[in-house]
Structure 1
Amino acid sequence: MNIVKNIVALAALSLFSFSGFAQSVTASASTLDSAEAKIALQAKQAGTSYKITSARFTNGAYISAELVK
């Protein structure tokens, strides 16, 4: 149940566009490499670079990052 709450919270946070200098994004996948690839794709589409702020691997990989201009 706690994992479901975390996933929902991460999904909700990834939908918000923060008006500050950096935007937070999240991705989940079966491996850390594939989750990072999703983050890299989001950064490329936004025309920015990214900085990983957290990563964990529990029944799948979850990465949070900030897109920075």
Structure 2
Amino acid sequence: MKNLTKAFAVIALSTASFATFAATEVSSAPAGEQSIGVVSASTGASDLTSLQGKLAAKAAQEGATSYRIISAGGDNYLYGTAELYK
């Protein structure tokens, strides 16, 4: 019974994370899409993957179909901005 509960929890959490990161990262402005704004994020972690995940979540929250990271920096406290497209 515990294994079934754990399996259900893993499935539910993984499904939720895919829904959160619906925006696609692009390396240049996508053809046919308009810029809809800019978001910024910061993280106490020192890895870019964490920062990228936060920017992707904010882009999806704003309704963007894609985003492009336009700046990132920091040492132990990373920060970055991304331009959103729709």
Same fold (TM over 0.5): yes
Question: What does residue 68 of structure 2 align with?
Answer: 51
Q: Contact 2:35–2:83 (CA<8 Å) still a contact in 1? A: no
Summarize the alignment of residues 17-28 of structure 1 with structure 2, pairs less than 5 Å apart. 21-28=35-42
Report the alpha carbon displacement of residue 21 of structure 1 after superposing the two structures with TM: 3.3
Report the AA paired with residue 63 of structure 2.
Answer: G
CA RMSD of aligned residues (A): 1.8
Q: What is aligned with 2:28? A: none
Deviations 1:2-56 (A, max 9, x none): xxxxxxxxxxxxxxxxxx8331111111132111111100111222111000111
Q: How many pairs align?
A: 50
Moved over 3 A (4+): none
Counterpart amino acid of residue 40 in structure 1: A
CA distance in 2, matches of 1:66, 1:36: 13
Aligned to 1:62: 79
Output the TM-score relative to the length of structure 2: 0.50
- Contact 2:41 2:81 (8 Å CA) reproduced: yes
In structure 2, the gaps of 5 or more residues are 1-33
Contact 1:55–1:64 (CA<8 Å) still a contact in 2? yes
Distance 2:52 2:38 in 1: 14
Conserved 8 A contact 1:55-1:62: yes
